[in-house]
Amino acid sequence: MDIAKNIKIVLVNTSHPGNIGAAARAMKNMSLDQLTLVAPEEFPSGVAVGRAASAVDILEKATVVSSLQEAIADCSLVVGTSARSRSIPWPMLNPRECGDKIVAEAQQHKVALVFGREDSGLNNDELQLCHFHVQIPANENYSSLNLAAAVMVLSYEIYSAHLDRSANPADEQAWDQELSTAAQMEHFYQHLEDVLVALDFHDRDNPRQLMQRLRRLYGRIRIDAMEMNILRGILTHIQQRIRPKN
Ligand code: SAH
């Protein structure tokens, strides 16, 4: 699968190395090979190698980083997984839509599919770094899948979408600019927050959900690189105007 190089599976703070190995095996079965581990509790690990079976190569070339932001910095689409919805509602995909979207966008740029901790999933700050959330429909009395099983289901949907698309190539939507990466979006949110504080519009000590709602707003419109330059330029000009001259 030629687009596999653009699809990162990101596991955040995994506690059981066996799950890392089983996730690598699921990925390889589904022709994926880019595994990023955010602060795993135990890695490298013989237990992971045992569970990976013939997917040890994926473990060997896995990237280990210390934060989710670092893991997704170069990605222009980030999808987070969640067994339940929380805080404010977020744009949702079902697993099939998730597969279609990832395959469509991976033709153009890097995408990340992010999985959470075995005991507590992804926290709200991590979920806010995502454009979309995907939930695997499951028993309403027990909807939390094993981590590697969740990786399997969503990797299968990616591979299925790839097979469908190979059979019926879609017309790509032409766009003149690259989409902003997660790192560029993060710089923008910092800049925006600084300006809103300077304007007395926003109080960092009483934030309510302002930044969360602005992240959801700007995440929905998928800002491209040129639009990002314009927005950053506007913010810089506001800062120049309100900064006391001395
Ligand atoms: N108790 C945790 C469950 C964590 S399960 C919680 O409520 O969030 C570990 C990881 O597996 C999750 O973070 C998610 O990445 C994935 N996962 C498990 N069940 C899932 C489901 N139904 N839909 C989407 N992802 C799921």
3-state secondary structure 52-82: HHHHHHHHHCCEEECCHHHHHCCCCEEEEEC
Residue nearest to atom 5 of ligand 1 (CA): 118
Residue 133, in any domain of the structure: yes
Residue 174, in any domain of the structure: no
- Tell me how many domains the chain contains: 2
Residue 119, in any domain of the structure: yes
Q: Output the pTM of the full model.
A: 0.95
The answer on 138 and 194 residing in a single domain is: no
The answer on 151 and 53 residing in a single domain is: yes
Tally the residues of the chain: 246
Q: What is the pLDDT of residues 141-200, one digit of tens each?
A: 999 999 999 999 999 999 999 999 999 887 777 888 999 999 999 999 999 999 999 999
**Does any ligand 1 atom lie closer than 6 A to the CB of residue 135?**
yes
CA 118–ligand 1 middle distance (angstroms): 7
State percent of the chain over pLDDT 90: 91
The answer on 144 and 47 residing in a single domain is: yes
Nearest Cα to Cα of residue 82 among 122, 37, 26: 122
Q: What is the pLDDT of residues 218-241, one digit of tens each?
A: 999 999 999 999 999 999 999 999
Q: How confident is the model at residue 131 (pLDDT cuts 50, 70, 90)?
A: very high
Specify the pLDDT at position 28.
98
Domain span at residue 211 reads 182-242
Specify the pLDDT at position 14.
98
**Does any ligand 1 atom lie closer than 6 A to the CB of residue 145?**
yes
